[in-house]
Chains A and B, each alone.
Chain A
Amino acid sequence: MIETKQYTAGEELVNLFTANREMYNEGCPVFMNGAREAALEKFYKAGIPSKSNEDYKYTDLRPVFQNDFEVVPRYVEQSVDLHEIFKCDVPQLNSHIILLINGWYYGRNRRVGEFPEGVICSSLQHAANEHPEIVEKHYNKYAAASADPMVNLNTAMAKDGLFFYVPDNVTIEAPVQVINIMYSKENTLALQRNLFVLGKNSEARIVFCDHTLNENYYILNNLSECHIEPDSRFGFFSVQNQHNGAVNITSFFANVEKNALLDTNTVTLNGGVVRNNIKVQLVGEHAHANVNGLTLADEKQHVDNFISIDHAVPNCTSSQLFKNILDDHSKGVFSGQIHVFRDAQKTEAFQQNNNVLLSETAEMFTKPRLIIDADDVRCSHGATVGRIDEDALFYLRARGIGEKEARLMIMFAFADQVLSQIAVPVLRERLEDLVERRLRGELGPCQHCTLNNKK
């Protein structure tokens, strides 16, 4: 373990890496280590993003890097058995439970159920050494072009995370639940790297839950790359429930091939500063992406969803729906882009962003964007910011429903338009329950595993 206290900015991270280069490269194959230098260079030039970076206009990350924290370039075995802390009581969701700790694949995972033959579910570092033929083909292929300093920082310094591979023609029925835990005695910066590869005509769903187990200050820089081959269906559902002192910077890159479907939903229930980068590239005809998200924020929480969907070829469809309910001093940010490339004719791309402010002090910043370079397309976006619908409220009260309950009903209905898009009933019901409790103020940040929460 390296003492890394007192460094406060990007330059110090770069120094940390150069001083400990061998330790960062240790255990990782050449293709991972080879990508580090170029990414580090890009990160060094750009620095920690501030408001002068147009893509971080409303989310200045410099202050969150001012605190002292540790960076751990080696896996550290936990003294407690994490499986003792997490027990899932939802039978439909407990087939496969995979634990990750501070960005690393947990060494004593024993709840990973039986998968069909050929499926690989393991530590990324392990897979990179054992299955280089699969990992090298996709590692850093979709994230490399990014100018985002946080993406480049991840490529430079991340060493492990989850690797998940589904071979051609294999369907995994039960959702795979990933519990992503931050738990350390010290304030910690974790760098996590995941890779998901779905072979042709395959199908899988991952539920990814971010948690913090104690009140220490955490920054999680988590990056997932996802490659979906023709005719496959991949669902990625992210549930974020960290405490208010935690910073969660998550990047998700998806490469969607012909006739494949990506279905993703990001539900942010709690967190200090949350930034979700989602970049989807539709690269084969008739590919489709649903990119949805729901944020419930209060106190001083800050949640920024930064979405970009590229329609690179004709005949693809995409749909974005993001909603924010903001209370107290919280801030919500939405930046959603649809880019229709030249000659990507017959594109249909829709985007909707609706926001409700509940308090005098909550703020919403929204930046829906269309970049259209083909003419035979149907694209639209809409954005609204407003308060709760007073007419609807009155209507409910006129029917005898108390104001508090009526407000909850309206807010829940507003939120449920996002949740109802989730095609996995058991997950949808679970999230509806969590959201309702969150709206009632009954769900605090970091109540261990939210999906395990006993009522």
Chain B
Amino acid sequence: MTEQDKILEKATSEDYKFGFTSDIETDIIDKGLNEDVVRIISAKKEEPEWMLEFRLKAYRNWLKMEMPNWAYLKIPPIDYQSISYYAAPKKKPQLSSLDEVDPELIETFNKLGIPLEEQKHLAGVAVDAVIDSVSVKTTFKETLAERGIIFCSFSDAVKEYPDLVKKYLGNAVPAGDNYFAALNSAVFSDGSFCYIPKGVRCPMELSTYFRINSANTGQFERTLIVADDDSYVSYLEGCTAPMRDENQLHAAVVEIIAMERAEVKYSTVQNWYPGNKEGKGGIYNFVTKRGICRGDHSKISWTQVETGSAVTWKYPSCVLLGDNSHGEFFSVALTNNHQQADTGTKMIHIGKNTRSLIVSKGISAGVSNNSYRGLVKVSKRAENARNFSQCDSLLMGDKCGAHTFPYIECANKTAILEHEATTSKISEDQVFYCNQRGIKTEDAIGMIVNGYAKEVLNKLPMEFAVEAQKLLAISLEGSVG
């Protein structure tokens, strides 16, 4: 058992009455967005003046912007004035036992192999065995603190490490970067802050903690990761079970700064509620994720498995500023039923000898639309830049769509850029071959899809990869006749 497992084991087996009785902050401010609302949010969080200024600047930018419409998505108009921008921490319907939870959800939990106690936590069941997030948090904190690693909520970071936050906030994603990033910058509720000091390798995957920590951070979370010289961290973000979240809009921002020779791996398994089979409900997921490889020889690697949300608009990007820096993007995006995804990456080569790799695997089923959109840009001074992009689409059924929109902009003759894209389907012969060996169609499809996505799934940490594999199979259920 690893140290991480021990901590979790301890936390989950302990009896601790936490429940959902903590309705200290049930105050919800009126719906709508204006400068006063931004001020109220900042005041409620007891933020310093510079933080309020950051929010106000973002808000003023946002007012001047229009919602982007270039993506291959059909989104009904969103009324930003009908949303409440401060409802901390969100209260879930309290259920007295798992029997009251949607049986379909329980079925999914079981298929994913999520432990019973965690199931209750995820489903929002108010029972006494809810994971003790406080003790997990503190236990982790001790281990991390020994190495000088800072890992805390964003709100805490603003209070406890204002200089660090002030120095790096908005570096990768400026307040006025795009419509959704500006909105997030104005009203973000909370999120995580992570700082790895010089020369430190973070000893554990920062995953479970985050899963618990972030369960209620709400619609507008913000993450800032700073990896100082020669440091390393692997960060896992994920909701590994379908949250039946009633929120329609999620606009998160993730910023990563990698200094000299630092390496950051950021893995996501996104499985927000995708809406029902008729396309009703579901999350609109508008996420801005960007990392800057600021130092020479630094590396940022994004891995994502996107199976949820009604609409996904997400382009985790790398700005390769330092010489010899390296960006990677590995993605599996699966859409079924009425889901729509427009996702990909941007690799901006600025430093010399910078390299980037893009591997994108799209899977479309039902009547969904799945698009890859990516930019590879080589600036004038980016001598010897290299990029290889592989974008594959797998279509399941004749009512879905798979689209590829790469952009390549090259202003340096020493660059070598290659892009390849293919489209395929699961052949009936492959399924029959598996059938003939005694494997049922559903399992055969799951197997073939996982085989197709293997190159990306292999990039995920082990425990995450297993969950992701199961998710892919589950998300495709009912998509094959």
Q: Which chain A residues have a beta carbon within 8 Å of chain B's beta carbons?
A: 54, 58, 342-343, 345, 355, 357-387
* Chain A residues with CB below 8 A from B403, complex form: 369-372
B421 contact from A359, A363, A368, Cβ within 8 A: A368
Complex Cα spacing A286 to B135, Å: 68
Chain A residues with Cβ under 8 A from B414's Cβ?
387
* Chain-A contact segment, one of B119-127, B168-176, B231-239, B404-412: B404-412
Shortest CB-to-CB span from A165 to chain B, Å, is 38
Residues A386 and B417 in contact, CB atoms below 8 Å apart: yes
Cβ-defined contact, B423 with A368, below 8 A = no
List chain A residues, Cβ under 8 A from B411. 361, 363
Do A369 and B409 touch (CB < 8 A)? Answer: no
A residues in contact with B420, CB < 8 Å? 380-382
Contacts of B395 in A (CB 8 A): 372, 374-375, 377
Nearest first, the 8 closest Cβ-Cβ pairs linking A and B are A357-B413, A375-B395, A370-B404, A385-B417, A385-B410, A383-B419, A379-B423, A363-B411
Q: Is B415 an interface residue (CB 8 A)?
A: yes
| A375 and B398 in contact, given A368-B419, A386-B417, A387-B414 (Cβ under 8 angstroms) | yes
Determine the interface band of chain B, counting residues with CB < 8 A from chain A.
Answer: 35 or more
Whether B413 lies near A372 (C-beta < 8 A) is no
A-B contacts, 14 listed (Cβ < 8 Å): A58-B409, A342-B399, A343-B398, A360-B412, A361-B380, A364-B409, A365-B407, A366-B406, A369-B405, A371-B401, A372-B395, A374-B395, A375-B395, A380-B423
B101 within 8 A of A: no
Chain A binding surface SS class: strand
Complex contact A374–B398 (CB within 8 A): yes
Q: Are B396 and A375 in contact (CB under 8 A)?
A: yes
Residue of A370, A371, A384 with most partner-chain B CB within 10 A: A370
Q: B72 contacts which chain A residues (CB < 8 A)?
A: 371
Known: A363-B409, A368-B406, A375-B396. A384 touches B423 (CB 8 A): no
Given contacts A369-B403, A384-B416, 15 further A-B pairs with CB under 8 A are: A342-B399, A360-B413, A361-B380, A363-B410, A365-B409, A366-B419, A367-B408, A371-B401, A373-B400, A373-B401, A375-B395, A375-B397, A375-B398, A380-B422, A385-B378
Q: Nearest CB to that of A332 among chain B residues?
A: B410
Residues of B with C-beta under 8 A to A355: 410
Task: Kindly state the separation between the CA atoms of A364 and B402 in the bound complex, as whole angstroms.
Answer: 26
Provide the bound-state CA to CA distance between A385 and B411, in Å: 10
Of A361, A367, A372, the residue contacting B393 (CB under 8 A) is: A372
Considering only residues 422-438 of chain B, those with a C-beta below 8 Å from chain A are 422-425
Q: In whole angstroms, what is the CA distance A382 to B406 when docked?
A: 10
Nearest opposing residue in chain B for A347, CB measure: B423
> Which chain B residues have a beta carbon within 8 Å of chain A's beta carbons?
70, 72, 378, 380, 393, 395-425
Contacts of A343 in B (CB 8 A): 398
Residues of B within 8 A of A368 (CB): 404, 406, 419, 421
Specify which chain B residues have a CB less than 8 angstroms from the CB of A345 in the assembled complex.
398
Chain B residues with CB under 8 Å of A359's CB are 413
* Residue in B397, B408, B422 whose CB lies within 8 Å of A366: B408
B421 x A364 contact (CB < 8 A)? no
- In the complex, residue of chain B having the shortest beta-carbon distance to the beta carbon of A373: B401
Select one of A58, A377, A381 contacting B404, CB under 8 A. A381
B371: nearest chain-A partner, CB-CB: A371
Q: Give Cα A359–Cα B414 distance, bound, in whole angstroms.
A: 9
A380 with B421: in contact, given A372-B395, A375-B400 (CB under 8 Å)?
A: yes
A362–B405 touching, CB < 8 Å: no
A367 touching B416 by the CB < 8 A rule?
Answer: no
Q: Which residue from chain A places its CB closest to the CB of B373 in the assembled complex? A: A369
Complex CA distance for A347 and B375, rounded to whole angstroms: 27
Give the distance to chain B from A370, nearest Cβ to Cβ, in Å. Answer: 4
A376 near B398: Cβ-Cβ < 8 Å: yes
Inter-chain contact B398/A384, CB cutoff 8 Å: no
Q: Report B55 CB to chain A, min CB distance, Å.
A: 29
Shortest Cβ distance from residue B161 to the other chain A in the assembled complex, whole angstroms: 41
A345 to chain B: closest residue by CB: B398
Is B396's CB under 8 angstroms from A383's CB?
no
Question: Which residues on B sit within 8 Å (CB–CB) of A373?
Answer: 400-401
With both chains docked as a complex, state the minimum distance between the C-beta of A344 and any C-beta of chain B, in angstroms: 10
Name the contact of B416 in the complex, choosing from A370, A371, A386 (C-beta under 8 A). Answer: A386
Cα–Cα distance between A361 and B411 once the two chains are bound (Å): 7
Residues of B within 8 A of A363 (CB): 409-411
Task: Please determine whether B419 and A365 come into contact, CB atoms closer than 8 angstroms.
Answer: no
A262 to chain B, nearest CB (A): 23
CA distance A377 to B418 in the complex (A): 23
A361 to B413, CA, bound (A): 8
**Smallest CB gap from A374: residue in B:** B398
User: Quick check: A383 and B406 within 8 Å, CB to CB?
Assistant: yes
In the complex, the answer to whether A383 meets B408 with C-beta atoms within 8 Å is: yes
Contacts of A376 in B (CB 8 A): 398, 425
Inter-chain contacts of B404 with A (CB < 8 A): 368-370, 381
Q: Does B423 lie within 8 Å of A357, measured CB to CB? A: no
Q: Within 8 Å CB of B413, what residues of A? A: 357-360, 362, 387
Q: Are A386 and B415 in contact (CB under 8 A)?
A: yes
